[in-house]
A and B are shown apart, each in its own frame.
Chain A
Amino acid sequence: MSNVLRVKLPLMIISIILVVIFTEYFLILPSSISNFVSELQQWIVILAAFAIVLGAFNLVKIHLPKISKSKEISDKFLNAWLIAIMTITIVIGLIYGTTSSQYTFIFTNLLSPVSTAVWSIMAFYFCGAVLRTFRARNLESTVLIISTFLVASGNAPAITAFIPWYENLKTWIMNVPNVSAMRGMIIATGIGVLFTGVKMLLQVERRSTVGAGE
């Protein structure tokens, strides 16, 4: 019985929903069925709304005990800070609404600067990663280094001012080998996505749905 509930039923539901969605996409059907499919696609929003409560509980469950358990004072403070900020944001959102000036204040004065800081850190990580990676170990990495050098220096006005054709070389690298490689990847990815759908429809894809313990 548990195998039916845990394995067969979820796979069956996925297959039925996929058949309904595929059919609605390809065939001309009565508007009632099309409306049902649109409704079905909206369900993800409802599921996500329920799940956010679950996510918040998970954060509290993990970080609240850490306030007392942590040995270092900085850890205690950071866990308490997370819980406090989360509670304040939820309370303000519930009382004043998410478009209120109080809620917007938290967003623009707390979240945005921190997010910008994360993005700015990326530049330093990128330099470190490039220094570590860009070694001419084989033909591929040598081509990568040469093309990176050409494109990066092609963006420098000082070089293109003295060598005008250099910018055309950079544009050629970006528009011809780069775009053709990207398009090849897009086509292969598209086929991969199609086959993921087909695998789920035919119940071949099971790990992500019912886990490893089948």
Chain B
Amino acid sequence: MIQSGKIVQTMFLLTTIATYYYLSWLNKEKGFVPKIRKIAALDAMEEAVGRAAEMGRPVHVSPGTPGAAESIEAQTIAGLAVTSHVSRLCARNGVPVIATASRPELLPVLQEIVKEAYKAEGVGEAYNDENVRFLSDNSNAYAGGVQGIVEREECAANIIVGKLYGTANVLFGRATVAGKTIQIGGTAYYLVVPHLVVTCDYVLMGEEVFVAEAYLNQDPKQLITVFAQDIFKIISLGLLIIGLLTYSMGSNLVIDFLNT
């Protein structure tokens, strides 16, 4: 028995799963593979690592600064996928990668992800455990730590994608003023996006963070989920317009429907 007020939510979830399976069937039977528009911030990662290889300097990468209750949440998961991709690029180009964690429970995950990336490129012996570091779970201390690493170790690129808060400005600030580091930031937290726009060279904003893995891998299964995501965005937009019109005419039709 479905809980009252959650019938539409349940239907929404089941429809997303059904849509994914339908698109997978289309992919298998008819070779349907959706295309994603160019995302400059994700394309720039390769350029940033290439520049680091030329300069012989390391790259700093992090999956953001999630809070205590959200250490492994959707944006952090996207950030970990980006960390994996950047680590792999670095391993391929012989660039040392410095990965930092702002939550202690993220540390073993990060260590494993970087190690696997090195192994995947066939240079497992080049992996240095000391380059995957836990700094602090205090966001100010973490921001100060990242700033110190980027400056002291002269990182050629600073890539931070995931949940970010007000300290995003400090995470990128010093290197922005110095202007020697390519900075790529990404978050879906709308209040932090303006901070990234003024401090980073390339920015992933909002939902772009969640499509990063699909874009970087070009895996059809992942691309299908992005296409399904777009379908549901259009449905949401349709509901929004209908709701706006009906509410303006004095009807609570859409609100009642969504609360069913």
Contact = CB atoms under 8 A, between A and B. Distances in A.
Interface of A: 22, 25-28, 44, 47-48, 51-56, 58-59, 61-62, 111, 114-115, 118-119, 121-122, 124-126, 128-130, 132-134, 144, 182, 185-189, 191-202, 204-205, 207-208, 210-213
Contact of A191 (B103, B112, B232, B240): B232
Contact of A192 (B141, B197, B207, B221): B207
Label chain B's interface by main secondary structure: helix
A162 B66 CA distance: 45
Contacts of B217: 207
Contact of B77 (A44, A53, A59, A205): A205
A48 B10 contact: no
Interface string B96-126: 0000010111011100110111011000000
Contacts of B16: 194-195, 198
Interface stretch (B43-51, B52-60, B79-87, B247-255): B79-87
B176 A125 contact: yes
Contact of B221 (A22, A53, A204): A204
A25 B103 contact: no
Contact of A189 (B107, B116, B206): B206
Label chain A's interface by main secondary structure: helix
A55 B138 CA distance: 13
B17 A202 contact: yes
A207 B81 contact: yes
Given A26-B6, A195-B210, A188 B117 contact: no
A195 B74 CA distance: 9
Contacts of A189: 188, 190, 206-207, 210
A47 B109 CA distance: 12
A26 B10 CA distance: 6
Interface string B160-176: 00000011011011101
A192 B225 CA distance: 10
Contact of B116 (A115, A132, A210): A210
Nearest to B210: A192
A129 B169 contact: yes
Given A129-B177, A202-B17, A212-B116, A185 B213 contact: no
A202 B176 contact: no
B27 interface: no
Contact of B141 (A52, A115, A208): A115
A42 to B, nearest CB: 11
A62 B20 contact: no
Nearest to A123: B169
Interface residues of B, number: 80
B104 A207 contact: no
Given A28-B1, A207-B80, A62 B198 contact: no
B67 to A, nearest CB: 11
Given A58-B133, A122-B170, A212-B88, A198 B225 contact: yes
B209 interface: yes
A132 B141 CA distance: 26
A129 B190 contact: no
Contacts of A182: 190
B198 A130 contact: yes
B225 to A, nearest CB: 5
B225 A129 contact: no
Determine which residue in A62, A111, A196 has the highest number of CB atoms from chain B within 10 A of its CB, and name it. A196
Contacts of B225: 195, 198-199, 204
A195 B85 CA distance: 20
Interface string B57-72: 0000000000011011
Contacts of A128: 173, 176-177
B104 A54 contact: yes
B105 A211 contact: no
B71 A48 contact: yes
B210 A196 contact: yes
A148 B102 CA distance: 32
Contacts of A210: 116
- Ranked 6 nearest A-B pairs via Cβ: A125-B173, A211-B116, A55-B104, A192-B210, A208-B80, A213-B116
Nearest to A210: B116
Nearest to B73: A193
Given A126-B169, A189-B188, A61 B130 contact: yes
B20 to A, nearest CB: 6
